Structure 1
Amino acid sequence: MNIFTHIAAWAVVFIMPALIFISEGNHRFEEALYRSLMSLPFLMFLFYSCYYWLIDKLWFKKQYLLFVLMVVVLIVCASYSKYELFSYFDLHKGKHRMPPFHAFVYFDFLSNLLPVVFAMAIRYAQRNFSLEIAQKEAQAHKLQADLTQLRYQLQPHFFFNALNNIYSLIAFDPQKAQQSVHSLSKLMRHFMQNSDQKQISLADEVDFLQQYISLMQLRLSDKTTVEVDFPKQVPTLSIAPLLFISLVENAFKHGVSATEATTLKFSLYIEGHTLVFRSENTLLPNQEHLYSSGIGLANLQQRLALLYPEKHQYTIEKKDGKYCAILKMNV
C-alpha cells in the first residue's frame, strides 16, 4: 500500500461517520466531525498494530489464541482511552454524562474491530499475491532450466548424427566428405549463435533447414528423391529455434534406403495464424517401430510442451506407404 492509498482510506474513515450522522436527520455536523477526529487515532493504532506486527508475528505463525487475546487487549485499551477522552471533553463542554464504560465498550467494539478485519484482509491479499509471484518466478526458473538442458541435449545429438553421415562419405567420396565438413561448420555456428536464444526469425530457421538438407543430400544415391517446399518469401515471424530439425533428421535416418527407391518431402507454410511444418518419407519395411524412438523426437515433444503449451499440435500419419509428421503451432 502506498502513502496515497493510506491517506485516501483514512479520509473516508474520517468523513463517513459524519455523513451517516447527517443522513439520520441530525444536523450537528461539527460534533460528528469532532467525534470522528478523536476516534481516528485509535482506529489507526489498531489497524497498524495488526498490519505491521500482530498478523505477521502471531496469526501467520498460527498462534491464533495469542493473536485474539492481544487484539482484545488492544481494543479494550483503545476503548478505555477513547472513553476517558470523550468524558473529559464532554465534561468541559457541559454536556450529558457518558454511559457506563461497559456499555460504551459494548457499542464501540464493532467499530474497533473493523480496522483489525481490514488489516487482515489486506495482509492476506498481499501475502497471496506475493506467493503467486514467487510461484510464477519459480516456474519460470524451472522452465528455463529445463529448456537449457534440452538444448544441451539436442546439440551433441545433432552433431553425432552429422558426423556419422560424414564418416560414411569418407570411404567412397572424400571430396563430398570435405564439403560436408565445411557445411557442418556452418550449421554448428548456427547452433552456437541461436540455440541459446529464446526466439529467432523464421527466415533464419528456414535457412538452417535448407543447409542441413543440402548437407544430408551429399550422401544420398540416385534412389532417393528429396523435395523441399519452403516459401521463397518467408513471413516475418519469430519462433523458438531448432524445432523442426528433429523431424528432418528422423526422415533422413529412417526414410532412406540403399536398395529401394524412396522419397523425402519437407514443406512449411502458414494457414491463418498457424505455422505448419510437414516432414514426409517413404515407410520402409522393418523400420516402422523405430520412428517414435530416439532422443530427437522426445526432445522435441518436451520442448513443445514447455514453449507452446496448448498452442501446438503434433500428429503422425501412416498411410499409402508414407510416414508423415505434421507440426502445427499458433504464431
Structure 2
Amino acid sequence: MKRTLLHLLFWMVYLLQDSMLEFLWVSPSVQHYSTSQQWWMAMHAGACLLLPKLLFTYCVIYFTIPALLQGKRLWREIGKGLLLLCVTIVAYRLVAQYYMNVYVYPDIFKPSPLFSPVLVLFAFMDIGCVSGIAITLKLLRTQLGAKEREKNLVKEKLETELRFLRNQINPHFLFNTLNNIYALARKQSPQTAPVVLKLSQLLRFMLYESGSGQVTVAAEIRVLNDYLELEKIRYNNRLQLQFSLNVDDETRLIAPLLLLPFVENAFKHGVSESRFHSFVHIQLTLQNGLLTFQIENTCENGNAAISDKIGLSNVRRQLQLMYGEHHLQISNGTDTFSVHLTINLNSYAKI
C-alpha cells in the first residue's frame, strides 16, 4: 500500500510539473481561452501523453532491470529495451497526432508528419526524462534495500557468533568450578557447602543477568569477587591474593563476563600448576569511561602460555565485536604471567 501511494505521488508531481510546462509553452497560442481553460487543456495534454511513458517506465522497472540483475544475456535485454523504446515512441506520436492534436488543441496545431526527426527527438527526450528519473529512483531504492539486507545479515551473524562465544564461556567456567568443588568434596572439607552457595550465586547471574547486552560494572565486580572467594576457599594459605579497585562510577555499563576469563586463566593455568607459594594480583581502574584491568599471577616454566585456550581466545573475539577502542597485551614470562587490558566503555557497539 505504501509503495502504491509513493508511485501515485511521484506521477502526480510529475503530471503537475509537465502540465505547468505545457501551459507556459502553449499559452501564447491560446490567448482566446480563459486561464482555467488553458490549465485544463495543459492537464489534458499531459495526462494523455503520460500513458506511453507509464508503459515504458514500468516495463523497464519490472522486466528489463530484474533480468539484467539476474545476469541474463546483456545484449538480448538491451535489444528488448531498445525495441520497447521504439514501440513507446510510436505510441507517443500516435497519441499526440491523433488524439491530442485533434481533441485537446483542435484549432492550434496544423497537420504534420507523424515521424519527423524533430518530433521523434522531442518524444525521445520527453519519455527519457521522466523514465530516467523513475528508473534511477528504482535502482537507488534497490541498492539501499540490498545494503540494508546485507547489514541485517552481518548483524545476525555477529549476534549468533557472540551468543556462541558466551555460551562457550559459561560451560568453561562451570567446568572449572565443579573441579574445585570435587577437590573439596574428596577431602570432605567443611568449605564444600559455602562453595556450592557461591557457585549458585554465580550461576544465577549467568542465567538471569548476563543475557542482556550489558551489565553494570558493579555487577561485574561482584562476579569477580564471588569467583575469588571460591578460589580463596580452595587454596587457603597457599595463595596470596590482591584485588584493588579504583572506580569512579560503578553504574557504568560493560559487556557481561568479559573480565572473568582472565581471572579463571590466572588460577587454572597459573596457580593450580604452581607447586609452591602462588600469587594473583588484580587491579581494576575506571575513570571517565576508560577501564583498565591488570592481572598478574605466578607460573612455572611458562606454563601460562594460553593464547590458544578457549577462555582468552573467546574474550579476544568478544572485544573485537563489541568495543572499537580496546587494547589487550599479554605477557608470558618465565615465572609470571600478566594481562593488561584497556577498554573505552563509550566505544561499545550495539550489534
**TM exceeds 0.5?**
yes
Give structure 2 stretches of 5+ with no counterpart. 69-76, 346-351
Deviation at 1:318, TM superposition (A): 4.4
Query: TM-score, normalised on structure 2?
Result: 0.81
Q: Is the 8 A contact 2:247 2:287 kept in 1?
A: no
* Alignment deviations for residues 219-248 of structure 1 (CA, whole Å, 9 cap, x no partner): 124232111123466432222211111111
Q: Is 1:11–2:16 an aligned residue pair?
A: yes
Residues 58-207 of structure 1: matches in 2 within 5 Å?
58-62=64-68, 63-89=77-103, 92-93=106-107, 95=108, 97-103=110-116, 104-172=119-187, 174-207=189-222
Task: Indicate how the Cα distance of structure 1 residues 96 and 61 shifts in structure 2: closer, same or farther if over 3 A, else same.
Answer: closer
* Alignment deviations for residues 13-64 of structure 1 (CA, whole Å, 9 cap, x no partner): 3324556x59xxx797869856743442255434543554432223211333
1-side partners of 2:296 and 2:198: how far apart? 24
Give structure 1 stretches of 5+ with no counterpart. none
1:314 pairs, out of 328, 331, 336, with 328
* Alignment deviations for residues 169-218 of structure 1 (CA, whole Å, 9 cap, x no partner): 22335111221111111111111112322222222111111111111111
- Which residue is 1:243 aligned to? 258
Percent identical: 24
Larger deviation, residues 215-224 vs 124-133? 215-224
2-side partners of 1:5 and 1:116: how far apart? 12
Task: Indicate how the Cα distance of structure 1 residues 144 and 47 shifts in structure 2: closer, same or farther if over 3 A, else same.
Answer: farther
Task: Indicate how the Cα distance of structure 1 residues 96 and 175 shifts in structure 2: closer, same or farther if over 3 A, else same.
Answer: closer
1-side partners of 2:99 and 2:29: how far apart? 23
SS in 2 for 1:266: strand
Letter of the structure 2 residue corresponding to residue 15 of structure 1? M
**TM-align CA RMSD:** 3.0
Letter of the structure 2 residue corresponding to residue 126 of structure 1? R
Larger deviation, residues 242-251 vs 100-109? 100-109
- Which residue is 2:308 aligned to? 293
* Alignment deviations for residues 135-159 of structure 1 (CA, whole Å, 9 cap, x no partner): 1121122122212222221121111
Deviation at 1:74, TM superposition (A): 1.8
* Alignment deviations for residues 293-321 of structure 1 (CA, whole Å, 9 cap, x no partner): 3211111122222223x332222134695
1:255 pairs, out of 270, 274, 280, with 270
Larger deviation, residues 78-87 vs 236-245? 78-87
2-side partners of 1:316 and 1:304: how far apart? 14
